Amino acid sequence: MKFFLDTANIDQIKEANSWGIIDGVTTNPTHVSKEGRDFKDLIEEICSIVDGPISAEVVSTNCAGMLKEARDLAKLHDNIVIKIPTIPEGVKAIKVLSAEGIKTNATLIFSAMQAFLVAKVGATYSSPFVGRLDAVGHEGMELIQQTRQIYDNYGYDCEIIVAAVRHPMHVLEAALIGADVTTMNFEVMEQLFKHPLTDIGLEKFLADWKKVPQKKSRSKKGK
């Protein structure tokens, strides 16, 4: 399962990239608005840091507008993936872009039927939002299970991006189900490393190491 970082913050992207575990980045208008920078300049910088799929979202709500934005964004870099909302106009746009060879990420998916529709029209990725479903009393990971089964039943190549994850258990459950990607914010990704027994064990090892006798370094004789 691939890990994508869900942010537009350059410092977070650089730090997570240094860990060697991220395979791509997903952005959205909310993330971009926090950075106070030109959208295209920001996306191009992200592409220069991470060598993997970089999702950039359109803001038009009609097919013609989405296509115009998508084609402009796709010219920025070979790794650009166009995020498109899963609405009728968006599904129409995904169908056209797929035929043109432009990679797409169908976003704001909250039902298995929505995930089914975008796979039928050739979306590269589908992004079911699990955390938001949990927040309104639905089982978010059930959507991932249903989507995985549908795609496997019919041999769809569309990759499942588990989105809106809230904690490391979402990441673990996604991996056990067989999702292709989980995208997460910096804080959740950082938590993947954490375990109290690791901290306790390291503290003990370092404390015990201080008890090990150390040879005094010998001064070198002058020539």
List beta partners, residue 107: 85
DSSP assignments along 178-216, one per residue: T-SEEEE-HHHHHHTT--HHHHHHHHHHHHHHTTS--PP
Would you put residue 216 in left (φ > 0), alpha (ψ -120 to 50) or beta? beta
- Encode the chain (223 residues) as per-residue pLDDT tens digits: 999 999 999 999 999 999 999 999 999 999 999 999 999 999 999 999 999 999 999 999 999 999 999 999 999 999 999 999 999 999 999 999 999 999 999 999 999 999 999 999 999 999 999 999 999 999 999 999 999 999 999 999 999 999 999 999 999 999 999 999 999 999 999 999 999 999 999 999 999 999 999 988 766 655 5
pLDDT of residue 188: 98
Q: How many Å apart are CA 120 and CA 156, to the nearest integer?
A: 8
Catalytic residues: 83
Domains and CATH numbers, the chain: 2-209 (3.20.20.70)
pLDDT of residue 217: 72
pLDDT of residue 220: 60
Phi, psi of 191, rounded to the nearest 5 degrees: -65, -20
Total-model pTM: 0.94
Residue 198 near residue 220, CB atoms below 8 Å: no
